[in-house]
Structure 1
Amino acid sequence: MYLSRYEEAMLRGDYGDAIARAMQVIVRVGDVLKADKLLDIETAHIAGVSYLTIGDPGLEYLEDLAKSNARFRVFTTVNPVGIDMLNDWGIDKEFIDKQWRIINALKSMGASLWLTCTPYEYLRIRPRTYHAWAESNAVAYVNAIYDAWTEKLPGPFVVLSALVGKVPRYGLYTINGRTPTHIVRVKGNQPITDPLIAGLLGKRIAESVSDGKPYLVAKLGGNAVIKQLLASYATYSPHAFIVIDGITPNYKEYFAMMSRPEVIDIDINDIIKDAKTQARNFDAVFLGCPHYGIDEVLSVVNYVRNRGFKRAKKPIYIATTPFVINSLSQGIINMLKDSNIHLVLTTCPVVSPFLKSVRVNIVATESVKQMYYLPKMVGINYISCDGIECLDLAFDD
């Protein structure tokens, strides 16, 4: 693999031992993947930083890097952690303390502590720029919505890429590696507006194309639906790459690149039939995977207003970002809390013990991604609900 003089100097140790060790791994991985050179990245997004998932070994690794004066060379954001930075939710103090040590190690290396799985909603990302991202839903989103280029990378590898500002050129970092192999046509007269249906569609697409790369032709009704579709698709896809007709920048070029693609037709009515609401035995509603943005939170505010500010019979937890919290007045936050709706910051149930801490064992959720991870990661069961029905269940149960 070709290395520039600057890259050789980093590998040699001219910029410190931490950079040299990071370059050794990146070059070794690049050689295995038969990359021809390294690429300069504009941003990095680190995942896998909850103490629940990385434990003491991950904590010690990050602290060792921080103590060696390692610093990120590109703008670097971080995925949700295992705690809410504004509310302990009854989580064990030792867990909270160790999570803060992880956060502080990342901060000392120069990370921007947004602690969200949706950094794409707050960044200006140019098409055909290179990035090193680990969060699967974010990888799918920036590839599909911005035509920005990243593979679905392991969290520890992204840490190293952020330290040197480089990734090997392979796979989705090449135009040939982004050639769609399947055309997926979704039949239906109306735009898809239901988050659950969008998520189930994303799962169906991933299962239908396997390791292929789909070119999707569908009517999608808004960003909230797109987020759910891509998050679910990325959960079940090995690469999280998809082109959306009429939406992805350069989609016409991608369409022209295809050579005898396999065509798959999906009837959205079949997916709607499969999305019947299950038994109503649940402890709470969970929304916000991916993290809710301001528009999604405000839609809940409007729902509560239309309900006459009544109190939900079951608690509703909404995972969101510091940007959203800072955009809401304290009056709105208090109004939601009075309605038994709780905004949860900087975390996610699949990487945190907070649901167990508030004695929730079964959630009602619209997120197909959560349906995959909750039982596996934290032993939380679920029932599915489509869109506004999740709120209806909590208020009317």
Structure 2
Amino acid sequence: MSEVSLNGRCLVAGSAQGALLYADVGLSFWGGVEPFTGEVIDRHHPLSGQLISGRVLAIPSGRGSCTGSSVLLELMLNGHAPAALVFERVEDILTLGVLVAEQMFGHSIPVLSLGEAGFAALRGVAFVRVEADRVTGFNSPPPALERRPENRPAINAVSKISLSETDQGLLDGAYGKAAQVAMGIILRMAELQGATELLDITQAHIDGCIYTGPASLRFARQLVEWGAKVRVPTTLNSISVDKRRWRELGIDTALGEPASQLGDAYMDMGARVSFTCAPYLLDSAPELGEQIVWAESNAVVYANSVIGARTLKYPDYLDICIALTGRAPKIGCHLTQQRLATLRIDVPELDGLDDSFYPLLGYHVGLLCGAAIPVICGLEHKGPTLDDLKSFGAAFATTSAAPMFHMAGVTPEATTAELALGGHAPDKTLRIGAADLLHSWRELNSAQTSDVDVITLGNPHFSLSECATLAHLCGVQRKHNAVAIVVTCGRATLDRAQQAGYVATLERFGVQFVTDTCWCMLGEPVIPPTARTLMTNSGKYAHYAPGLVGRRVHFASLVECVESACTGLASGRLPEWLRGAAHAEDSAHV
């Protein structure tokens, strides 16, 4: 007998059933799910260690990386995907992965959203059957599901979106097969998002160039074979290897060759050789109000929040589809009204802030937000730098599903909190205490010993100003022989740092530079096989590293990272701005 029967919104049609795997916390498939086994590897997530393969996965939404769509495509083509996906709300990144698998490779799974009450009703259910827009829960395995042929929409199916003459030509194949398929995928996503028309965009940044496995290369090569060429200036995110030096770095050819070939495929489509996860550091960075299409979660958040450009949190593969057509759904953060904050977060007055404050705060705020856009209040007179905002945004993008934040008195659309809220009262106001930040500090500091084997800097990619700061801190010192210190950055930044003399200073200290790729893609041997504990000043990497590379992490300021590079040990000191919370906690335990 069924225990629960629910109606939802069908995002991708189909029928399936299986044991239910339920969590009330969003999950990033990139860095959170192993693409070749289906294991949940996000060690901070309640499903850590579980296998999603063949089960009905119910999560409120995705979160974190835009590359989740690519990981899901890998899982679907290698047989380790969930039987179905059930969300609380419409979810773009993972749904797009299913649409690409269906449209280009003939593989699909059902996807639907249930709303808050319906999703909550699945808690405690053991088995689930999904049929189109209906979910039925059971307390024991249900009878076998009768398989019926699914009706897949044709590429040029009648769309509810208002199309220009050029749009229709793209959809009809007048501009080639690649552009035709791309427009078909764009329109299906636009309809799911509730868009009624498309808009022109001025530039794109492609995250799908990250190698997640054979499917990612297969996708890009298929587009090249179909004659794909971008219609707007297009930059490329970090790829999975240092394209010029992967052999020198000792990277296995099983990764190095296809990862490099994937970069080549996107350049064959006309993308610029940029290979950076921080495109806002390039000379092509957009301006306030510019309509763009960027993928890569930290870049999206920075573009929307710090620059005031306009983009959605575009999933991998939708990014290149839009670059091939120059057209994007007119929805979400492309529209002024949908950029407004609905959540106010008040930050405590803390003294002695250092650069570890902003990534930690971003990590904590992201956990509180879900998909809501926040306005953070209380930092109006703290003067965060662009590097501070970069690190805040990257950590925020790791733990939230929101495409942007506002910071009152700091970011361009939030000269006041009232302006960021559009003159309306927030749906909710939250106050963060120092004790809350102390809890998140301990969450990011997973290391169990004081040893430090590798200092990992540059997630997101280091800026020129960060290179200058690091060179000043290193000075005439030399690192400890047993500690590796590696900085990842873009090629353009490395060239400027060399011209400024920073690279020579840092290489004398013992810093190794790696370009084109980033820490979320790096593993052994750049991380020595004997290394057990890492140290980073990146909230994003402190979160992902335990699952991605199986190492414990010390999270600390850049000053502490340099000190540990010299001693081989983490001091374990709390930053000044957290010590009061720790003292209060100790006193309460006496």
* TM-score where L is the length of structure 1: 0.92
Q: Distance in 2 between matches of 1:395 and 1:296?
A: 19
CA distance in 1, matches of 2:392, 2:168: 42
2:216 is the alignment partner of 1:58: yes
Q: Identify if the C-alpha distance between structure 1 residues 260 and 319 changes in structure 2 by more than 3 Å, giving closer, same or farther.
A: closer
Q: In 2, Cα distance between the equivalents of 1:273 and 1:31?
A: 41
Is the 8 Å Cα contact of residues 215 and 245 (structure 1) preserved in structure 2?
Answer: yes
Q: Tell me the distance in 2 between the aligned counterparts of 1:192 and 1:133.
A: 31
Answer with 168-177 or 146-155: which moved more.
168-177
Please name the residue that 2:408 is paired with. Answer: 245
Pairwise CA distance, 1:137: 0.6
1:73-92 correspondence runs (5 A): 73-88=231-246, 89-92=249-252
Q: Do the aligned residues in 2 keep the contact of 1:365 with 1:385 (CA within 8 Å)?
A: yes
Contact 2:470 2:558 in 1 (8 A): no
Equivalence for 1:302: 472
Q: 1:82 to 1:142 in 2, by over 3 A?
A: same
Identical aligned residues as a percent:
26
Q: Does 1:227 align with 2:390?
A: yes
SS at match of 2:520: helix
In structure 2, relative to structure 1, the CA distance for the partners of 1:357 and 1:224 (3 Å cut) is closer
The CA deviation at 1:117 is 0.7
Contact 1:44 1:76 in 2 (8 A): yes
**Code of the aligned partner of 1:239:** A
User: 3-state SS of the aligned residue for 2:234?
Assistant: strand
Question: Is 1:95–2:255 an aligned residue pair?
Answer: yes
Distance across 2 between alignment mates of 1:105 and 1:337: 33
Task: For 2:306 and 2:268, locate their aligned partners in 1 and report how far apart those are by CA, in whole Å.
Answer: 32
Query: Any idea what SS the aligned residue of 1:104 has?
Result: helix
SS of equivalent residue, structure 1 residue 111 = coil
Separation in structure 2 between the aligned mates of residue 191 and residue 241 of structure 1, nearest angstrom: 27
Query: 1:203: Cα distance to partner?
Result: 1.7
Matched, 1:120 2:261: no
1:39 partner SS: strand
Amino acid at match of 2:422: A
Aligned equivalent of 2:558 = 387
Which of the residues 429, 441, 450 maps onto 1:275? 441
For residue 431 of structure 2, give the secondary structure of its aligned residue in structure 1: strand
Please state whether the residue corresponding to 2:387 is helix, strand or coil. Answer: helix
Distance 2:208 2:383 in 1: 30
Q: 2:308 aligns with which of 147, 151, 170?
A: 147
Cα offset for 1:240?
2.8
The 8 Å contact of residues 241 and 522 in structure 2, kept in 1 or not, is answered as yes
Match of 2:107 in 1: none
* Residue 365 (str. 1) matches residue 536 (str. 2): yes
Task: Summarize deviations over 1:89-140 as a string: whole Å, max 9, x none.
Answer: 1111232221221111111111112111100122342222222111111111
In structure 1, what is the Cα distance between the partners aligned to 2:371 and 2:192?
20
Inter-partner Cα distance in structure 2 for 1:385 and 1:241: 25
1:287-309 CA-partner distances (Å, limit 9, x unpaired): 1111101110111111121xx33
Tell me the amino acid that sits aligned with residue 391 of structure 1. V
Aligned match for 2:455, one of 273, 277, 285: 285
Q: Which letter does structure 2 place at the counterpart of 1:185? A: D
User: 1:77·1:119 contact (CA, 8 Å) conserved in 2?
Assistant: yes
Q: Structure 2 matches for 1:28-47, cutoff 5 A?
A: 28-47=188-207
The answer to whether the 8 Å contact 1:46/1:133 transfers is yes
Contact 1:289 1:369 in 2 (8 A): yes
**Paired residue secondary structure (1:375):** helix
Shift of the 272–326 alpha-carbon distance from structure 1 to 2, 3 Å rule, reads: same
Native 8 Å contact 2:340 2:422 kept in 1: no
Partner residue, 2:117? none
Match of 1:344?
514
Cα 1:41–1:202 shift into 2, 3 Å = same
Does the CA contact (< 8 Å) of 1:90 and 1:357 recur in 2? no
Segment drifting more, 352-361 vs 214-223 = 352-361
The Cα of 1:260 is off from its aligned counterpart by 4.0
By how many angstroms is 1:346 displaced? 1.1
RMSD (CA atoms): 2.1
**Match runs of 1:157-236 below 5 Å:** 157-190=318-351, 192-194=353-355, 196-217=356-377, 218=379, 219-236=382-399
Match of 1:265 among 418, 431, 449: 431
CA offsets per residue over residues 275-322 of structure 1, 9 Å max, x none?
A: 3675322321001111101110111111121xx332334111111111
Higher helix proportion: 1
Change over 3 Å in CA distance of 1:121–1:258 after alignment to 2: farther
Shift of 1:201: 0.8
* Counterpart residue type for residue 338 of structure 1: R
SS in 2 for 1:251: coil
SS at match of 1:351: coil
* Distance in structure 2 (CA, Å) of the matches to 1:387 and 1:268: 21
The one-letter code sitting in structure 2 at the alignment partner of 1:374 is A
C-alpha distance in 1, partners of 2:525/2:364? Answer: 28
Q: What is the distance in 1 between the residues matched to 2:433 and 2:201?
A: 39
Instruction: Pick which of 180-189 and 154-163 moved more.
Output: 180-189
Distance of aligned partners of 1:220 and 1:206 in 2 relative to their CA distance in 1, 3 Å threshold: farther
Q: What secondary structure, in the 3-state scheme, does the structure 2 residue paired with 1:83 have? A: coil
1:130 maps to 291
- Name the residue aligned to 1:105: 265
| Greater CA drift, 101-110 or 55-64 | 55-64
Residues 207, 224 of structure 1: alpha-carbon distance in 2 compared, 3 angstrom cutoff: same
Q: Distance in 2 between matches of 1:365 and 1:189?
A: 23
SS of the aligned residue for 2:199 comes to strand
How much does 1:28 deviate? 1.3
CA 1:136 to 1:45, structure 2 compared with 1: closer, same or farther past 3 Å?
same
The answer to whether the 8 Å contact 1:188/1:267 transfers is: no
Supply the distance in 2 between the matched residues of 1:264 and 1:303 (Cα, whole angstroms): 37
User: Where in structure 1 are there 5+ consecutive unaligned residues?
Assistant: none
